[in-house]
Amino acid sequence: MHLQPEQMQAAIAYFTEGKQPGFDLDAALARLRATIARNPDLAQFFVEIQLQASLAGNGLSAVPRARLQRVALMLGLSATDFARLESLLRFRQAHLWARAPALPVAVPAAARLPALSAWCRPTACSRPRRRCPMRMW
């Protein structure tokens, strides 16, 4: 993030403060809402980042979802906005996993080299060099 040393120390202090049992989340969210009042898109962006982290971590169970929804409401997002954003992120996550390439299977080098070397010759590629999928030359 390219933070200066004093900014890094402040971030660590804020993080540590937020983990304390007596941390006043409502007051912190009120300060954040006042700070971003001129740009409400930042509230949605903040909630989106939190939702992405939760979905990637534990799938967003009921308790974290309720907490995030409360944060979103305190920052000015409606329950409908939160549900729409959650649906969009779940959709993206599902399609990202569906399109992810399968893990490579360990195939002995002797089994795959003859076919690969025949396919990768410059004469085997019918498309112009700049568009050929195998840029071996």
If asked whether residues 66 and 43 sit together in one domain, one would say yes
pLDDT (0 to 100) of residue 135: 47
Average pLDDT, stretch 121-132?
51
pLDDT > 90 in the chain, percent: 36
Contacts for 68 with CB less than 8 Å, ≥ 6 apart = 47, 50, 51, 54, 60, 82
96 and 112, same domain (yes or no): no
Q: Taking the CB of residue 118, how many other CB atoms lie within 10 A of it?
A: 9
Distance of alpha carbon 136 from its chain centroid, rounded? 33
The residue among 129 and 76 whose pLDDT is bigger is: 76
Same domain, 94 and 137: no
| Same structural domain, 91 and 50 | yes
Same domain, 93 and 117: no
User: Are 85 and 119 found together in one domain?
Assistant: no
Confidence of residue 103 (pLDDT cuts 50, 70, 90): low
> CB within 8 A of 86, min separation 6: which ones?
51, 60, 65
The mean per-residue pLDDT over the stretch 47-63 comes to 85
Q: Are 96 and 113 in the same domain?
A: no
Instruction: Confirm if 56 and 99 have CB atoms less than 8 A apart.
Output: no
117 and 88 within one domain: no
Do residues 91 and 40 share a domain? yes
Number of domains in the chain: 2
For residue 136, the model assigns a pLDDT of 45
Helices (H), the chain: 5-19, 25-35, 41-57, 62-74, 79-99, 109-119
Q: Which domain does 93 fall in, by range? A: 5-101
Q: What is the pLDDT of residues 33-44, one digit of tens each?
A: 999 988 889 999
